[in-house]
Amino acid sequence: MDLKEFMSVRRAYNTVRQMVEAKDRLTFEEFAILCRLSEAEEPIKTSAIAEYQGALRPTMTHRTNHLSGLGLIERAEGEVDRRNVVCSISEAGRERVAELASLTRAQIPTGKALSRTSPERIVKYADAMGALFCKAGDLVLLGLYAAEADALTIMQIVDALGLLQPTVSMSVASLGERGLVERSHEADGSHTTSVSLTPEGVECAKELAEKIEALVVRRKLRATS
């Protein structure tokens, strides 16, 4: 997967998430679980979903509980071992996947990576991307790394990532404490803060980008005659 493709999907989904009522909002990881289940031919063990997302059991229990509570997935005991809970997507879940994928596709600006792809392809991208957990701070690093400019203002980062301004500001503050970004004020006296990567931040972002490039997006199976 290309970094620009990854950023296009994450920015678009972050934007869509702000458009949804709070009670119906799904994290990107939850959306990715629905996408994986929608692409699966049979129910998937909760342990397998946790392994796919590199998540601890309590974290995965929280995510699947939320999806189940919204009626988007169904859970059942495994046929061989009742301790193995299996998850499958519900009809409401399939409808939500189609809706979110279509909205996400619509939020990708013309000329940006994947702006001409289909909602069905967005599902496959989200499925692949669900294997890499990225916190807001990680996205800020990637946004700065992918930018054509040496530095971005807070509002430019907000626009590039589709995140809320307080989230970006807190992430920048945390990254600054870790020595991954540095902040400077514009010389025009506007009190505008510019953010740029430090050498350590570049290395951290590069490692994340390499993990993204290793993600494989499943292709549609060709029909056999």
pTM above 0.85, yes or no: yes
Which two structure tokens, joined as six digits, stand for 156?
């430019």
> Band of the pLDDT at 192, cuts 50, 70, 90?
confident
pLDDT cut 90: percent of the chain above it: 83
pLDDT at 220: 59
d(CA 209, CA 223): 34
d(CA 15, CA 123): 16
CB 200 within 8 A of CB 180: yes
| 220 is a domain residue | no
Q: Which pLDDT tens digit goes with each residue over 91-112?
A: 999 999 999 999 999 999 999 9
Asked if residue 126 has pLDDT above 90, the reply is: yes
Q: 144 and 116 in one domain? A: no
Asked if residue 119 has pLDDT above 50, the reply is: yes
Task: Please indicate whether residue 148 or residue 221 has the higher confidence score (pLDDT).
Answer: 148
DSSP 3-state of 62: helix
Which two structure tokens, joined as six digits, stand for 27?
């994290």
CA end-to-end span of the chain, whole Å? 30
Q: 123 and 73 in one domain? A: yes
pLDDT cut 70: percent of the chain above it: 92
Asked if residue 15 has pLDDT above 90, the reply is: yes
> Band of the pLDDT at 218, cuts 50, 70, 90?
confident
pLDDT at 2: 94
Q: 103 and 169 in one domain? A: no
CB 177 within 8 A of CB 194: no
Give the structural domain span for 104. Answer: 3-129
Nearest 5°: the CA angle 222, 13, 132 is 70
Average pLDDT, rounded, for the chain:
92
> Band of the pLDDT at 78, cuts 50, 70, 90?
low
Q: 140 and 207 in one domain? A: yes
Determine the distance from the C-alpha atom of residue 204 to the mean position of all C-alpha atoms in its chain, rounded to a whole number: 18
- The mean per-residue pLDDT over the stretch 175-179 comes to 97
Three-state SS sequence of 172-200 = HHHHHHCCCEEEEECCCCCCCEEEEECHH
**Domain-ending residue, one of 81, 111, 129:** 129
Q: 166 and 55 in one domain? A: no
Asked if residue 150 has pLDDT above 70, the reply is: yes
Asked if residue 183 has pLDDT above 90, the reply is: yes
Asked if residue 82 has pLDDT above 80, the reply is: no
Asked if residue 189 has pLDDT above 80, the reply is: no
Of 28-37, 47-56, 83-92, 208-217, the one with minimum mean pLDDT is 83-92
Q: 153 and 116 in one domain? A: no
Q: How many folded domains does the chain comprise?
A: 2
The arrangement of strands across the sheet holding 181-185 comes to 152-153, 193-197, 181-185
